[in-house]
């Protein structure tokens, strides 16, 4: 049999779910896994769908099972496993056979792989896939990078398996080389930030207002009916309501406060720094995960400063304040993410479709939310304008920024850590400062390094009266 329209290598959770999704959409799919003993179990899990799935124990047989020109999705761990898999596969393929890396690749690696493929004259795509296991099975959000021809070749399959927003597929070509994986990386940076903002508000309710997990869950459920409607708020409500099967306690209270990470949030922060794009909420979220992991340090800190925190701010804040603070924080965090995407687009000559990025995130992905539709509209009007100053979001911020300030100030006053909320506020206060204090920085730079500065009253590079003076003996 050599008639599978597409192949999937890697039958971990994501690969297995993606292969089933492809078969569920009527395509014949060939699968292979390095540990071949996984294949029969997978075919059994696939049930009726296995009619359209052919499992192959060897790479050779897998390749032979595909219709030509071949299209092969790799769903293997990001990094060197992808390169090893490509190296093993390429000698078995024809020149027009295409490899599609669907893992969470670092976009620099996708760029390199795209360059190598271009040099060898073979097609390659790097696609970012979001939505976790459920998304992979029933409709993920897909962000494609590579040549437009490569994308067009498999677009019908990727669109069919993707999530749909009002019938529109959430699978979009983003641009050449690493563009798709870059957009996915920023998605994850925003994911970190959105999660952290929610976690901080949860912390205010838990530690500052003495609320039980179930009550907090009910608040999230309510918010999910309003402006904050989103997958992350929805699941936050669900996890807060859930009980531990062993102890009967709220499961949240049984989970150790030490967060893991695979690194995509960190990559976003690193790329933002490289591009000079301010993303303080994302950076705060990465920092918070790192600090959460440093549990021993936190325990010794809590020991050394036992009375650093007050737990009585219940009277100072309302649920409306917290909701509005989260609205403001969310807008500011997305404004930073899109600003970063815009800068990366210009720097790399990608011409990223800014409104389409907001659109591809409306369904299927982890950060899907009602607000993304409004963002796509704001970005259609002016793709390069910071979302915070787009009229619709500026009005929302005017209504919610006072609450963000109140929540941040109250939490800080009580010694509660709210790094992402604070970073959002500091970003807003800087963004709205017609006059910052960078004149002091420029003066300092000129004083110690003769770096020169611009003047407020005329053009050109100037020096202060100190030039040469302090160097005299």
Contacts with ligand 6PG by CB under 6 A lie at 104, 130-132, 188, 191, 260-262, 264-265, 365-366
Tell me whether residue 52 or residue 368 sits nearer to ligand 6PG (CB atom).
Answer: 368
Tell me whether residue 188 or residue 400 sits nearer to ligand 6PG (CB atom).
Answer: 188
Instruction: Count CB neighbours of 18 within 10 A.
Output: 26
Q: How far is the CB of 115 from ligand 6PG (least distance, A)?
A: 24
Collapse the DSSP code of 63 into the 3-class scheme (helix H, G, I; strand E, B; otherwise coil) and give the result: helix
CB–CB of 18/129 below 8 Å?
Answer: yes
Tell me whether residue 292 or residue 386 sits nearer to ligand 6PG (CB atom).
Answer: 292
Start-to-end C-alpha separation, the chain: 87
Distance, CA of 115 to CA of 94 (rounded, Å): 18
Which residue has the CB atom at the shortest distance from ligand 6PG? 130
List, in order, residues 6 or more apart from 139 with CB less than 8 Å away. Answer: 21, 131, 161, 162, 163, 164, 170, 363, 364
Q: How far is the CB of 50 from ligand 6PG (least distance, A)?
A: 25
CB–CB of 103/76 below 8 Å?
Answer: yes
Tell me whether residue 100 or residue 404 sits nearer to ligand 6PG (CB atom).
Answer: 100
List, in order, residues 6 or more apart from 363 with CB less than 8 Å away. Answer: 139, 141, 163, 164, 165, 170
Q: How far is the CB of 307 from ligand 6PG (least distance, A)?
A: 33
Q: How far is the CB of 366 from ligand 6PG (least distance, A)?
A: 4
Tell me whether residue 92 or residue 291 sits nearer to ligand 6PG (CB atom).
Answer: 291
Tell me whether residue 191 or residue 363 sits nearer to ligand 6PG (CB atom).
Answer: 191
List, in order, residues 6 or more apart from 438 with CB less than 8 Å away. Answer: none
CB–CB of 34/99 below 8 Å?
Answer: no
Q: How far is the CB of 466 from ligand 6PG (least distance, A)?
A: 48
- Active-site position among 5, 28, 109, 184: 184
CB–CB of 325/407 below 8 Å?
Answer: yes
- Active-site position among 5, 28, 109, 191: 191
CB–CB of 4/67 below 8 Å?
Answer: yes
Distance, CA of 79 to CA of 450 (rounded, Å): 44
CA 159 to chain centre: 21
Q: Does the active-site annotation cover 184?
A: yes
Tell me whether residue 102 or residue 403 sits nearer to ligand 6PG (CB atom).
Answer: 102
Q: How far is the CB of 288 from ligand 6PG (least distance, A)?
A: 12
Instruction: Using CB atoms within 10 Å of the CB of residue 11, give its burial: 0 to 12 exposed, 13 to 18 middle, 19+ buried.
Output: buried
Tokens at 96, concatenated = 């027009």
Q: Does the active-site annotation cover 320?
A: no
Which residues are marked as active site?
184, 191
């Amino acid at each position: 049999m050599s008639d599978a329209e597409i192949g999937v290598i890697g039958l971990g959770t994501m690969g297995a779910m993606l292969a089933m999704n492809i078969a569920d959409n009527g395509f014949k799919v060939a699968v292979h896994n390095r540990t071949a003993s996984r294949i029969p179990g997978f075919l059994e899990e696939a049930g009726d769908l296995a009619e359209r799935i052919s499992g192959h124990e060897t790479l050779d047989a897998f390749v032979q099972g595909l219709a030509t020109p071949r299209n092969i999705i790799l769903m293997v761990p990001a990094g060197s496993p992808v390169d090893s898999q490509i190296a093993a596969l390429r000698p078995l393929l024809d020149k027009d056979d295409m490899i599609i890396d669907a893992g969470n690749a670092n976009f620099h690696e996708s760029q390199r792989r795209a360059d190598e493929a271009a040099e060898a004259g073979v097609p390659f795509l790097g696609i970012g896939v979001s939505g976790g296991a459920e998304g992979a099975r029933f409709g993920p959000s897909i962000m494609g990078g590579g040549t437009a021809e490569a994308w067009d070749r498999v677009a019908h399959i990727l669109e069919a398996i993707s999530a749909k927003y009002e019938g529109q597929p959430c699978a979009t070509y983003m641009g050449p080389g690493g563009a798709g994986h870059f957009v996915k990386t920023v998605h994850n940076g925003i994911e970190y930030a959105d999660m952290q903002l929610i976690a901080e508000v949860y912390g205010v309710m838990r530690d500052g207002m003495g609320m039980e997990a179930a009550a907090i869950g009910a608040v999230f459920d309510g918010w999910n009916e309003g402006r904050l409607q989103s997958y992350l708020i929805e699941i936050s409500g669900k996890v807060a309501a859930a009980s531990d099967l062993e102890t009967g306690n709220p499961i949240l209270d049984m989970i150790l406060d030490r967060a893991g990470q695979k690194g995509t949030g960190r990559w976003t922060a690193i790329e933002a720094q490289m591009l000079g794009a301010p993303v303080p909420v994302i950076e705060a979220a990465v920092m918070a995960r790192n600090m959460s992991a440093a549990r021993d340090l936190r325990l010794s800190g809590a020991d050394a400063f036992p009375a650093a925190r007050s737990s009585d701010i219940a009277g100072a804040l309302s649920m409306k304040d917290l909701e509005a603070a989260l609205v403001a924080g969310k807008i500011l965090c997305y404004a930073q993410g899109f600003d970063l995407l815009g800068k990366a687009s210009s720097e790399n000559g990608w011409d990223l479709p800014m409104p389409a990025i907001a659109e591809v995130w409306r369904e299927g992905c982890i950060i899907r939310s009602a607000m993304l539709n409004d963002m796509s509209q704001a970005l259609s009007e002016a793709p390069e304008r910071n979302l915070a100053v787009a009229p619709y979001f500026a009005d929302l911020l005017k209504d919610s920024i006072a609450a963000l300030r109140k929540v941040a100030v109250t939490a800080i006053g009580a010694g509660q850590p709210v790094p992402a909320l604070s970073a959002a506020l500091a970003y807003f206060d800087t963004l709205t400062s017609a006059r910052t204090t960078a004149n002091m920085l420029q003066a300092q730079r000129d004083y110690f390094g003769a770096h020169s500065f611009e003047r407020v009253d005329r053009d050109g590079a100037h020096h202060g009266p100190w030039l040469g003076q302090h160097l005299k003996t």
